[in-house]
Structure 1
Amino acid sequence: MPLVNHPSLGSVRGTLDNGVEAYLGIQYATLSHPFAAAVPVEIHRHTADDFLDATSYGPTVPGPDGCDAELALIQHDLPRQHAQQSMTDGLTLNILRTQKEFSSLLPVLVFLHGGGLAVGSATWSQNRLSKLISVSGEQDLPTVGVSVNYRVGPAGFLTSEEMRNAGFPPNNGLKDQRAALEWVKDHIAGFGGDPDNITLVGHSAGAACATYHLASHKPLFNRIVCLSGTFLAVRTLPSPVHEALYAQSIRILGLEQMSTEERIRRLQKISSTDLARIAVVLSRPITDDDVCLMTPSFEGIQDGIPTSLHPLWCKDILIGDCQFDGSILASAFDGHTNDISRRFRAFLTDQLADVPDAASRLLAAYRFTADDDAALKQILKLANDIVFYAPTVAIARAWQHGAAYVYRFDQGNPWEGRWQGEASHITDLAMLTQNFNEVLPDEHREVAKMYARDLLTFASGQPPWEAFKPGPSPFSKTYGGSLSGEGRRELIWGFMDEIGADRLAALIDGFIATTTSP
């Protein structure tokens, strides 16, 4: 087993697999209870006889296990073991590096998993980085990889005035990530990583979180990668909505009739079972004066991303989406698809009554029919273009002080299931991490390796392809290319100009809310 003599941590023992050293389950912060502020761990220097055992994945903060659901979206299984959970010691990270000796410090890639801010773990098989780091060695792009566990669900994002007055901070999940990034800055050199050459990579909700960290006044990373997600896809919710979500949680827990003091005591001592019970409540950030300094909007970035959301310390961005990321929203309509074609037409006609013929023209552009199954797919494609595609291009257009590299993932899901043949949400993650290579067709495996190589090239500080330039085609790189997108993507810009981009995004949210409400 490899043993690192770290300058501040002392002796750290890891594991070795296929030429990749892994130092797993290293705690970067601790909690007094699930809703508490994360406190950086006290550094203890370990001796050779009392080494830090980093040979297995650490615990996560309790929450629902959505691993099976995510693998169902990928449509292929992987072997997995369920991680332990801990109310206080679940903020852990994993460090991976190639076994070779290098004369200089290596670029660092920090990965934030997705999961809608409701579920997710760095320990899930599909999120593990060992094979990606192995590729970095093979491609002569050696990189140190770091994956982070952070709070999701209620522990990460439940907030209210009552909670804040009691000292429970908002946006705990985002603040956990920041604590992890600060730990990496302070300690990664001891594992061979360069603290001045860090790339933050987020997928889906993890990518949305990454864009929120651009508001930090303290430099946290040197470049950023957003894979199928931005803060325009996972926006902050206003305080009244968070109060309603808190009230919903209190009702579920049966705490409505208690005093404020007693409710707070109960929350401090909440069990893992009760924490899972309130995990049905929507998890979203709230605008604060710390990590979410403004409510993201298309309007707010159309004239260039403000300095507060594009600091000079983050130079370059790599950003892209899948041709059908909108597939992730399909579950919101499960059990609600009957008569959906007529209901969506009526909803659009009512909501856009002030814009002449806008509803009918939008429906025609997206080829809506009376068939409910076909209509649902077109609703998802419209949502895709507003929630995933348009933000990707809008942010690239507004990026300043550095280069933006824009791509489209167009390689269809190869496995049998609802999304076979579609470049559906999370298909890109399955190929990037290389964890499915043994069961990928040859064509897909080549795309997967190219995708990984380009991202590693960017993380090394080199341009992966030609930087973004305003023009008719925003994509400098397309992976796959077997899917045409039906030419629909470019149609959305005319409607966004006419109707308003933020208004269109609100319409999608509004239809989902009205469709799924009791």
Structure 2
Amino acid sequence: MSPPRTIPALIALALALAGCSASPEPDNRRCLAHTPAGDIAGTGKDGLCVFRGIRYAAPPTGELRFHPPQPPPAWTGTLRADDGSRVCPQVRSSSEEYPDDREVFGDEDCLRLNVWTPVSGKGDRPVIVFVHGGAARIGTANEARYAGDTLARVGDAVVVTINYRLGVLGWSELGGLDPALRGSGNNGLRDQIAALDWVRTNIAAFGGDPANVTAVGESAGAFSLSALLATDRPERLFRRVVLQSGSGYLVHPRPGPPPPIGDLAALTTMPAADLVTRQEKTLGRIAPGTTSAVYFGPSVDGTLVLDTPERRLAEGHARGVDLLLGTTRDEVNFFGQFGPDPAAGLAAVAEDQPRFFPAALRDRRAEIAAVYRRDRSPTDATLAMFSDQVMRLPAIRMAEAQARWRPTYLYEFAWSPPGGLGAVHTAELPFVFGTLRFVGVPGGAEALSGDRAALEALSGQMVRAWTAFARTGNPDWPSYRPPTRTTRIWDVRGPDVLDDPRRAEREAWPALPDALELSSAGR
């Protein structure tokens, strides 16, 4: 058996098949997109055209703050798309990878997107639109780990990454303070819809097929796409969806949240940098620990998001959308890296678990915990139970709901770097994008130094699976449906396809609520 190809080898193969010539020198002559709004110039290199910082909506500044996104301003001549610096207002986090070293970002002119596309003139490529995570209050499409080069080359695809409003600016319901702002709690979601509308209108000019759009979301991005699946006719937005470490369970069941700052005059006039700084200080008091990760986000408002995503899927309202979804094995261990040391950090995360546990199941908690403690320490058992409740089990329930109508595919990412905290939340991202950049993944960079070939091989397998799904709707493993419950396990030891992995732990849980009970999570 021949050894697995590395990412560089896959790139060379893809370039050869696409008829592209890789060159170390920029070739911008062919990187001109003739969109309905006008010409946009990108930068060419190594067989790709890259367009950065294209506005898909008007800057939400001044009177537009807290209002739905508006059309982008027109331009004359050729728009130069080479601005990769935009970060929506937020306080810097060590778990993100920013384009510069600012501690606080305050520029509201951030509703922009980036496009990667092969140089060759071939059109009708599958389109992959990525919605980043970050607790709906941090992160940016301009992180280097989200670069679309490998997905575009290996998958012969058009890749788009988008910014959207975060924190209080994108996800706080202000209708109680001003009726004109009713619905502002889902403006981050409306930004994402505006970006998807831009893609549908313009992506053909970049070689993409507007009828074959796959939206990929991770963490808060996956919560958002889950909410979009619960809107009216979600197939108008995309043909396929990938949910990485996020499901409808973490879509707020009621409009909100209320702003952590209750002064409307301050909210509407305060400089954005000051606003997000004050937001973070307030969250430290009202949503401590891991609860701050779920304070902001999309909500069921009855107008845009019509019901909980699981219910909408079960009723067949997204029957025109193919679905691939999954989780990492040790999701919540991610938060252990922010403690004084790993052991203390993990213990603090475990202590948060009771606040998230469903009230309706409290009399079953000891019984469920006993299943997890069969081969784990008490802390590890609590962490595994926590990860399953908020991530793995809800993903399974969404897969069950959608599998009634469409082929649906489930995975679990199990690779754990030696000396790290496990297969933590976000650990799959460096592999899906082929960037192998491990910010926020303890032990990841050291593992890459120790065995780059194995990590490149795993990344190559995942890149091929994600782009195959975007192209055809089939990632090349059997679809999920009871009773077999076929699941793809991703690890450097080789991807396995298992039926109903960790069945005893899945069966330990009675029915979960459709959504996290936010009152039990510090709200």
TM-score band, normalised by shorter chain? 0.7 to 0.9
- How many angstroms does 1:504 deviate by? 10
Question: What's the counterpart of residue 201 of structure 1?
Answer: 216
Question: What's the counterpart of residue 196 of structure 2?
Answer: 181
Q: How far apart, in 1, do the equivalents of 2:173 and 2:121 lie?
A: 47
Asked if 2 retains the 8 angstrom alpha-carbon contact of 1:15 and 1:23, the reply is yes
Deviations 1:186-244 (A, max 9, x none): 11111111111111111111111111111333501111111111121x221535x734x
Give the direction of change, closer, same or farther, for the CA distance of 1:340–1:449 in structure 2 (3 Å limit).
closer
Question: What's the counterpart of residue 384 of structure 1?
Answer: 387
Q: How far apart, in 2, do the equivalents of 1:132 and 1:423 lie?
A: 22
Asked if 2 retains the 8 angstrom alpha-carbon contact of 1:196 and 1:222, the reply is yes
Aligned match for 2:144, one of 125, 137, 142? 125
Question: What's the counterpart of residue 475 of structure 1?
Answer: 486
Aligned match for 1:409, one of 380, 404, 413? 413
- Tell me the TM-score normalised to structure 1 length: 0.78
- Residue type of the alignment partner of 1:360: A
SS in 2 for 1:216: coil
SS in 2 for 1:436: coil
SS in 1 for 2:181: coil
Give the direction of change, closer, same or farther, for the CA distance of 1:112–1:100 in structure 2 (3 Å limit).
same
Question: What's the counterpart of residue 372 of structure 2?
Answer: 366
Question: What's the counterpart of residue 427 of structure 1?
Answer: 427
Count residues in correspondence: 457
Question: Any gaps of 5 or more consecutive residues in structure 1?
Answer: 72-78, 137-141, 256-262
Identity among equivalent pairs (%) = 24
Give the direction of change, closer, same or farther, for the CA distance of 1:345–1:160 in structure 2 (3 Å limit).
closer
- How many angstroms does 1:7 deviate by? 4.0
Give the direction of change, closer, same or farther, for the CA distance of 1:9–1:166 in structure 2 (3 Å limit).
closer
Asked if 1 retains the 8 angstrom alpha-carbon contact of 2:335 and 2:346, the reply is no
Asked if 1 retains the 8 angstrom alpha-carbon contact of 2:213 and 2:470, the reply is yes
Question: In the alignment, is residue 40 of structure 1 matched against residue 55 of structure 2?
Answer: no
Give the direction of change, closer, same or farther, for the CA distance of 1:361–1:82 in structure 2 (3 Å limit).
same
Question: What's the counterpart of residue 114 of structure 2?
Answer: 94
Q: How far apart, in 2, do the equivalents of 1:172 and 1:379 lie?
A: 35
Q: How far apart, in 2, do the equivalents of 1:346 and 1:387 lie?
A: 12
Give the direction of change, closer, same or farther, for the CA distance of 1:122–1:271 in structure 2 (3 Å limit).
same
- How many angstroms does 1:491 deviate by? 2.5
Q: How far apart, in 2, do the equivalents of 1:26 and 1:230 lie?
A: 29
- How many angstroms does 1:473 deviate by? 4.6
Question: What's the counterpart of residue 221 of structure 1?
Answer: 238
Question: What's the counterpart of residue 83 of structure 2?
Answer: 56
- Residue type of the alignment partner of 2:314: I
Listed as ranges, the matches of 1:13-28 within 5 Å are 13-28=41-56
Question: In the alignment, is residue 230 of structure 1 matched against residue 230 of structure 2?
Answer: no
Asked if 2 retains the 8 angstrom alpha-carbon contact of 1:24 and 1:55, the reply is yes
Q: How far apart, in 2, do the equivalents of 1:64 and 1:115 lie?
A: 12
Give the direction of change, closer, same or farther, for the CA distance of 1:85–1:29 in structure 2 (3 Å limit).
farther
Q: How far apart, in 1, do the equivalents of 2:391 and 2:358 lie?
A: 24
Deviations 1:430-464 (A, max 9, x none): 11111127756211211111001010011012522
Aligned match for 1:328, one of 334, 338, 346? 334
Asked if 2 retains the 8 angstrom alpha-carbon contact of 1:153 and 1:283, the reply is yes
SS in 1 for 2:40: strand
Asked if 1 retains the 8 angstrom alpha-carbon contact of 2:118 and 2:158, the reply is yes
Deviations 1:248-278 (A, max 9, x none): 423xxxx4xxxxxxx34x3222212322224
- How many angstroms does 1:18 deviate by? 2.5
Q: How far apart, in 2, do the equivalents of 1:460 and 1:96 lie?
A: 16
Give the direction of change, closer, same or farther, for the CA distance of 1:327–1:97 in structure 2 (3 Å limit).
same
Q: How far apart, in 1, do the equivalents of 2:180 and 2:54 lie?
A: 30
Q: How far apart, in 2, do the equivalents of 1:320 and 1:349 lie?
A: 22
Give the direction of change, closer, same or farther, for the CA distance of 1:204–1:105 in structure 2 (3 Å limit).
same
Task: Give the ranges of 4+ consecutive aligned residues of structure 1 lying more than 6 Å apart after TM superposition.
Answer: 331-351
Question: Any gaps of 5 or more consecutive residues in structure 2?
Answer: 1-27, 284-294, 438-447
What is the aligned-residue RMSD (CA, Å)? 3.6
Q: How far apart, in 2, do the equivalents of 1:463 and 1:427 lie?
A: 23
Give the direction of change, closer, same or farther, for the CA distance of 1:481–1:160 in structure 2 (3 Å limit).
same
Question: In the alignment, is residue 144 of structure 1 matched against residue 161 of structure 2?
Answer: no
Q: How far apart, in 1, do the equivalents of 2:114 and 2:365 lie?
A: 49
Question: What's the counterpart of residue 249 of structure 1?
Answer: 261
Q: How far apart, in 2, do the equivalents of 1:378 and 1:187 lie?
A: 49
